[in-house]
Amino acid sequence: MKQSETPELALQADPRPCASSESLTSCMRVPELVQIRFQEPKPAFAGAPKPRASIFWLQGVTLAWMLAEFGVSAYAAVTAHSPAMLAFGSDSLVEVLSATVVLLQWIPSIPISERRASRTAGVLLFVLAFVVAAITVASLALRLQPATSYAGIAITIAALIAMPVLAFLKRREARRSKNAALAADAVQSATCAYLALIALAGVGINAAFHIAWFDSIAALAAVPILVKEGRSAWKGHACGCC
């Protein structure tokens, strides 16, 4: 007998009614049939499905890459006074927060639902859009003259190679696990690749032709993409759009 099994007794008594001449003791007969059945115990609650190991691997790689990307982008933005690189660096920071939100779903001490995690990722995209727009407007208003940044060119080229691969792997895992927060994070990885292309265009053209305002215009071009993807993540449509 397994310890996890719970015995269940089914008693079948004599259906014949007691006669008036019978005593109470003789009328109360021992049950004719005793059946013992074993029933598998039901779980007390249904917990969250255990995540695949590949999800932890993907988010770990994302966190490591985004921290390095943020450091290089921030250095390039400060040294070259480039709004495009500052916008790209802010995307890296938001991507770190997004990857962390996905991992928080499976930490018992910090419970967070999939819907809440997906909406949090959407809010992060809105925050990024606001930051990019504010930086771009300030740069154009102050007529900043960004300098050439070889570090910015290098990190954006590297991001153009790495982020599409990460976005593809996250989309695949999101479809398999049906996790909306991971799908929203895949959108942010794809958005990072778009921003890398835009930032590279701004920094590269400024370096080649010394057109300072093109750096800011390149940053401003990313705002509609961020707003669109933020709305999709907030509504829980991230799986469909990626």
The CATH number assigned to the domain holding 173 equals 1.20.1510
Q: Do 183 and 171 touch, CB atoms closer than 8 A?
A: yes
**Structure token digits, residue 86:** 């500052």
Residue 60 lies in a domain: yes
Domain that holds residue 91: 53-241
Residue 86 lies in a domain: yes
Residue 46 lies in a domain: no
Separation between Cα atoms, residue 22 and residue 28, nearest integer Å:
10
Residue 15 lies in a domain: no
Separation between Cα atoms, residue 242 and residue 233, nearest integer Å:
10
Residue 29 lies in a domain: no
Helix 114-142 to helix 83-104 angle (10° resolution) is 170
Residue 64 lies in a domain: yes
Question: What is the separation of C-alpha 139 from the centre of its chain, rounded to a whole number of angstroms?
Answer: 32
**Tens digit of each residue's pLDDT, the chain (242 residues):** 444 444 444 444 455 555 555 554 555 554 444 444 444 444 333 444 556 677 888 888 989 999 999 999 999 999 998 888 988 888 788 788 777 777 777 777 776 666 776 677 778 778 878 887 887 888 888 887 888 889 999 999 999 999 999 999 989 988 888 877 788 778 778 878 888 998 899 899 988 988 888 888 888 887 887 788 778 768 765 444 34
Residue 197 lies in a domain: yes
Look up the pTM and report it: 0.66
Q: What's the pLDDT at 69? A: 94
Residue 21 lies in a domain: no
Q: What's the pLDDT at 164? A: 94
Total domains, the chain: 1
Separation between Cα atoms, residue 59 and residue 191, nearest integer Å:
16
